[in-house]
Structure 1
Amino acid sequence: MLLSLSVQAVLLAGSALTRAFVLPRQANGSTYTVQTPPLDTDWTYEVGTNPWPEYPRPQLERSQWKNLNGIWKYQNASGLNAVDNPPFGQNLGQEVLVPSCLESGLSGIQGSYMLYSWFSTLFEVPSTFTGERTLLNFGAVDYEAWIYVNGQYAGFNRGGYFEFTIDVTDQISGNSTNELLVFVHDPTDSDDYVIPIGKQTLNPSHIFYRPCSGIWQSVWIESAPANHITELQLSAGADGSVNATVYTSNNGTTDVEVKITGADGTEVASHSGSSNTALTFQADSPALWTPDSPTLYNVSVTLGDDQINSYTAFRTVSRGDVNGIERPLLNGEFVFQFGTLDQGYWPDGLYTPPNREAMEYDLKMLKDLGFNMVRKHIKVETALFYQSCDQLGLMVIQDMPSLRPIQTRTLDNCTVQDILPNAEQQQEFQRQLEVLIRQHRSYPSIVTWVIYNEGWGQIRDTYYPEFELTDLVRSLDPTRLIDATSGWFDHGAGDFSDNHHYANPQCGTPFYSIQSSPYDPNRIGFQGEFGGIGENTTIDHLWNVQQAIDTINQTYEIDQTNEAYNYRSHLLLSELADQTERYACSGGVWTQTSDVEGEVNGLVTYDRRVLRPNVDQWRSDIKALYDAAAARGNGSAVMPEGNPYGQHGPPGF
């Protein structure tokens, strides 16, 4: 019998994993209401009309800002040509919650095939912005966005997972109400579009899910001087070295000061230099960041009249030979990485969690069970997600969202062909991969970048693009490891020999299956996915869509009772520990954090109300993995001569 979270919370000491159920309500003074989703969570009806009030970008935070999240107006558009006739000054017909996915219940729309959309809102600029530039920021809009302010075109962005900023000073009126109008085109996998979509599809089926269209991350304005900080690139190594580059809007060289302080306000390092230039300086004996002790330091950066707050951590990610085996190293020591395949889907918000508490529920649950890592699976999260991982001490393996996975087209001659990118589409994938690295390379918790997952969108008939993409990622961020091809079609690029296999692991072993390549002892042996065992549940915890329910038996393995589920998980985790003892396994990814639509193989059900693991058993089994790794990893890491960071250069950029 499954235990409800109210029972399991007693076992998960120190975690707030239970909540009182709240009935649906309509927002006061608004026609907006949550549309009943196929499944809700305990947070669904607590979101209200002021979602995600937190400052959205904690690594480049300004004091003068205003949140534009809330109830906006929405109108469906007929096609891409609608962008040529913007509905300026018009009252769009529906209300929508921003941020949200248009296909979600929380949006108030819960539509399908939301390919073309108009969004509008009115906003006033605070008087404190006077005399400075006004910057309009979007956390993420899926997929293309045209921005208009007060009837004037302001800017464009392509890429559904990345933040962007537009200077709207010349379009706004500081003394009156301003109209913000956004046109969004989200093709997902329609027609011949081959774009980074992760697991989104217009035709959901088992492991591919309902899409997310529209403004799904926070929107805010802030003020800054004419010459202001646009990006802070920051890394701090275990040896106390700090590497920082402060990028500015004028791309020139201006005096800049960087200060690093501890939680008690004590300054541990500071440096003055020039903007848009790499700055290198030293901190004396800082406390290091590890999963067991995730110490963070506050950072302030001053450029003329502009000042931003940020944070960092001192830690070094590398690889090296430990007792004859290639290992991932954290601060020079082999740390066995064990986490879950973290899809980041919610039944009420799809890509957008109901609130920060809900988002952190998943992360705290994983920490409580003993996991020290999450693999963020072909999705990019909000900046607050990575901040939470930094604070909690969860290492992150970050995937690049996949191009159109496992789809084919039939040509006129009846030949069936995999849908892969053409040259232009591949170039756009590369551009967005570069954006992913640039926007996330300063988060301490991220330890590995994944370029391709299971061959999805991976060209492999004319050439192997993962080699040049690995070089690109390495040039942008030499401080982390790279998993070029997680599972399948491994031609030798990157730092990992990554096996996917369900349900049993094959991690760094002398045996493998057709889905993956044989273990390569010149790289790190890793189990990129395994487990996947499922346990069906009652309809009140299932995604109540018949198509999804019909695919439940496609789960890799179905265990008929909770006792059987925990028995099987114990055997699989013990097998991984045995492979760690006998062979060259350096980490693994259990599938998965939560159920998603027709998949019932999560540690928790899709609504996060039922926890499947026997907590004591799982904690013991996960500890056994770390113990097995420690027994094999006793000894000093051997690095290439003259390079203390293995193949990856110094901890700078």
Structure 2
Amino acid sequence: MMKHPECAVSTVLAVSLLGGVATTAAGAEWAPKDPPMITRWAKDVDPSKPLPEYPRPQMTRSSWQNLNGLWDYAILEKGASEATEWEGEILVPYPIESALSGVKKALQPEETLVYHRTFTVPTDWRGQRIVLHFGAVDYRSEVRVNGQSVGRHQGGYDPIDYDITDYLKEGAEQTLEVRVTDPTWTEGQPRGKQTLSPAGIMYTPTSGIWQTVWMEPVGQGGIEDLTIIPDVKGSAVQVKTALWGGASGDVTVQVAGGGSVTGKAGETLTVAVPNPQLWSPESPHLYEMTVEVSREGKKVDEVGSYFGMRSIEKAMVDGVPRLLLNGKPYFMFGPLDQGFWPDGNYTAPTDEALRYDLEVTKQLGFNTTRKHIKVEPARWYYHADQLGLLVWQDMPSVNSYDTPPGGRPKIDREAYATQMEAMIDHLENHPAIVMWIVFNESQGKHDTPELVAKVREWDPHRLVNEDSGYQDHGGPHQGVGDLDDLHPYPAPRAFKTKPGLAFALGEYGGIGLKVGDNNPWQAKGWGYTTTASPRELEDLYAEYAGLIGKFRDEKGLTAAIYTQITDVEIEINGLMTYDRKLKVDPEWIAKANRFEWSGPKFTEVVPTSQKDKTIYRYVFEQPSDDWMQPGADVSAWNEGPGGFGTEDTPGTGGIGTEWKTSDIWVRRTFELPDLSAKELDQLMLVLHHDEEAEVYLNGVLAAKEVEWTTGYSRLPLSEEARAALKPGGKNEVAIHCHQNTGGQFIDFGLGLLDPNRGED
């Protein structure tokens, strides 16, 4: 049985690591370039062999050569055709925008990035075809070997393979050049969260080579691709083999602990797997497999692979659409995983780092993860297969939530369909992947029924999610997928779903917490709601998880995805920081995810307008400077019930008084119960603000919030405002809310948080 190789043949490029700085044979130095944050794995990056692991675990060969390392590079301006000199060295495969590349430059749409290096082919590869592989290059690339073009490719997320045998020189050092252009946001290409103007939910882009480059010898007409389909009901696995150049040959598939079958290339071979051990998050059993090609009795090629025996489907159970894993209803619960790194951008510093996010996801008690509008290197899915995590795989969006200076480009429909098919073909053998998500929300949504039909044709064995969260953004959900997937923020909510579709919450939560001072993005950091301590985050997370459990039991909820596993740039709503430090006690999050703990009790003592349409005074124009002070004359202000805003704003529970201007000032008098000193310490604001809000209690600033929420949040009171409150008497609240764009709303309440966790 062929095992998975983890060691590479040494490359020609020689470097040594000295105190964290690499010195090449030519005397140049490499170090991370001005990293805004650095992860603990950056110190383990060896520039002589970064990411040395075999990059394609489901189709392995024992002989191969890793071409990662320091390459020459140049950036050509518009109109320049060739590089006249190299600007320096770049560490492949870290994108040029990243600190770990050693360059950290933004590639503009009109520029061309040129990579260059030399290599030699091992002498014992003689007589075989030499195939050059790129895990991914973003976005358009041309590869030249010894000055000759061997091919061009378009697409930033799928692998590229070239047979370069006929371009090699006999017994000589070879030259390799890769030329890249990346429009990022000017041509309507699939790009996910990449933007040339990072802000909000959009982040630093990735250009050029960002996954491992390697080459390997392949027998003439050897194996190019495998399609592996588990058949749980039939206790078998189906394997189809494609050979380079469409060659013919005899194929033998042997499963460890199972059967062995020989047939023809291109045929679907069925191999028995008696009494199969089913793959699941609780028991992620993998079967190893060898595929061999021969002609006239002589072996031509052999690869090692693996698979998991599992089934996934949607079915009616007791009249409710449910998601079934291995024939049984299975509740999918996991985080949103964006796959960005502060030092490597799209590329994790090391394979250990790549695996770490998945290990923490398991530690936190999740069984699922949603790979959010990005495609990862194959080893990420390998780790998910090994660890046992169900993966929802998004197709990277076009025309995301930003607009280039020239306006939004026309969607490249052909590129979207072509690259989605390539993504599915690339990843279809991983048992961890159970769902394809065609669109995220309203990002570039087009031709929905046609694209869903194509996905079902390309892969009829997995679930299809038409769009995750689109209904929350005002558009029609066409009901052609398997799920009705909605995005309430911050708290999960139940919705009336379309008949026959499984009810899922593809995003919710987004609880923000700033940790430490080493994140340069945190000055503008935001979450969909905010907390002041790890304990507050854990408590609110548990309350939300309790609602998820309730909706599962009472409303038919089949899956939920929490935003998110890590902070990303200015988003501080992760369960880990951007440099992968846990913000929370994993034991408490795991308990909440097992529905064993729903957080401390919270009691509203001053109700919001959701429960009590209290009358406020309000104005839309700037009042006098003392508008927030007790005793201020507000007799000329309007009167009306809270909350204030527009009907299209999510999470309001209903509008009391319409507010459409840019600003509003509101006041009300309320009775505060006769709270003890201990209870006063537990008092928190309950606020729904869209967008910026400043809240005064008895004339003292209690909280100042920027950004916006899409639901009611709990916020700490300032100590000065807490001291100004009058338990058992009348108090006054005064609020100013400012609106920039989109929906708008403001409402207020106060509540008590019980500090006990039941087991404390």
Partner of 1:582: 554
Structure-1 separation of matches of 2:92 and 2:122: 20
Spell out, residue by residue over 1:201-241, the C-alpha distance to the aligned partner (whole angstroms, 9 max, x if none).
00001210000111000000111122011100001122322
CA contact (8 A) 2:202 2:401 kept: no
1:340-359 equivalent positions in 2, closer than 5 A: 340-359=335-354
Query: Using a 3 Å threshold, how does the CA distance of structure 1 residues 242 and 626 change in structure 2: closer, same or farther?
Result: farther
- Deviation, 1:194, is 0.3
CA contact (8 A) 2:591 2:597 kept: no
- Deviation, 1:36, is 2.3
Q: Which has the higher contact order (CA 8 A, sep 6+)?
A: 1
Structure-2 separation of matches of 1:357 and 1:174: 38
The reply on whether 1:552 has 2:539 as its aligned counterpart is no
Spell out, residue by residue over 1:532-585, the C-alpha distance to the aligned partner (whole angstroms, 9 max, x if none).
011112222x2x1xxx445324x2111122222112111111111111111110
- Deviation, 1:613, is 2.3
CA contact (8 A) 1:138 1:165 kept: yes
In terms of fraction of residues, the more strand-rich structure is 2
Structure-2 separation of matches of 1:420 and 1:330: 39
Partner of 1:618: 589
Structure-2 separation of matches of 1:428 and 1:387: 27
Q: AA paired with 1:474?
A: R
Partner of 1:443: 430
- Deviation, 1:403, is 0.4
- Deviation, 1:253, is 3.6
Quick check: 33-42 or 179-188, which moved more?
A: 33-42
Partner of 2:572: 600
Structure-2 separation of matches of 1:360 and 1:284: 31
Quick check: 281-290 or 385-394, which moved more?
A: 281-290
- Deviation, 1:75, is 0.6
Structure-1 separation of matches of 2:121 and 2:65: 8
Spell out, residue by residue over 1:408-450, the C-alpha distance to the aligned partner (whole angstroms, 9 max, x if none).
5899xxxxx86551xxx11211011110111110001000000
CA contact (8 A) 2:307 2:429 kept: yes
Secondary structure of 1:52's aligned partner: coil
Partner of 2:138: 142
Secondary structure of 1:155's aligned partner: strand
Partner of 2:157: 161
CA RMSD of aligned residues (A): 1.9
The reply on whether 1:481 has 2:475 as its aligned counterpart is no
The reply on whether 1:226 has 2:220 as its aligned counterpart is yes
1:235-634 equivalent positions in 2, closer than 5 A: 235-239=229-233, 240-261=235-256, 267-304=257-294, 305-408=300-403, 419-421=409-411, 425-459=412-446, 465-488=447-470, 489=475, 490-506=477-493, 509=494, 511=495, 518-540=496-518, 542=519, 544=520, 548-553=521-526, 555-609=527-581, 611-624=582-595
Partner of 1:47: 45
Unaligned runs of 5+ in 2: 1-16, 295-299, 599-760
Structure 1 segments of 4+ aligned residues over 3 angstroms from their partners: 407-411, 417-420, 548-551
Secondary structure of 1:451's aligned partner: strand
In terms of fraction of residues, the more helix-rich structure is 1
Q: AA paired with 1:603?
A: L
TM-score by length of 2: 0.72
Query: Using a 3 Å threshold, how does the CA distance of structure 1 residues 91 and 410 change in structure 2: closer, same or farther?
Result: closer
Query: Using a 3 Å threshold, how does the CA distance of structure 1 residues 408 and 598 change in structure 2: closer, same or farther?
Result: closer
Secondary structure of 1:600's aligned partner: coil
Q: Aligned match of 1:120 in 92, 116, 121? A: 116
Secondary structure of 1:170's aligned partner: helix
CA contact (8 A) 1:406 1:418 kept: no
Q: AA paired with 1:313?
A: G
Q: AA paired with 2:204?
A: R
Structure-2 separation of matches of 1:437 and 1:316: 17
1:132-211 equivalent positions in 2, closer than 5 A: 132-190=128-186, 193-211=187-205
Q: Which has the larger radius of gyration?
A: 2
Structure-2 separation of matches of 1:162 and 1:211: 17
Structure-1 separation of matches of 2:310 and 2:349: 32
- Deviation, 1:626, is 12
Structure-1 separation of matches of 2:30 and 2:487: 44
Secondary structure of 1:406's aligned partner: coil
Structure-2 separation of matches of 1:356 and 1:146: 27
Secondary structure of 2:369's aligned partner: strand
Query: Using a 3 Å threshold, how does the CA distance of structure 1 residues 252 and 625 change in structure 2: closer, same or farther?
Result: farther
1:96-115 equivalent positions in 2, closer than 5 A: 96-115=90-109
Structure-2 separation of matches of 1:256 and 1:185: 40
Structure-2 separation of matches of 1:246 and 1:101: 33
CA contact (8 A) 1:64 1:128 kept: no
CA contact (8 A) 1:124 1:177 kept: yes
Partner of 1:17: none
- Deviation, 1:28, is 3.0
Structure-2 separation of matches of 1:69 and 1:621: 42
CA contact (8 A) 1:577 1:625 kept: no
Structure-2 separation of matches of 1:250 and 1:170: 14
Secondary structure of 1:27's aligned partner: strand
Spell out, residue by residue over 1:451-471, the C-alpha distance to the aligned partner (whole angstroms, 9 max, x if none).
000110113xxxxx1211111
1:14-53 equivalent positions in 2, closer than 5 A: 25-29=20-24, 30-49=28-47, 50-53=49-52
Q: AA paired with 2:252?
A: E
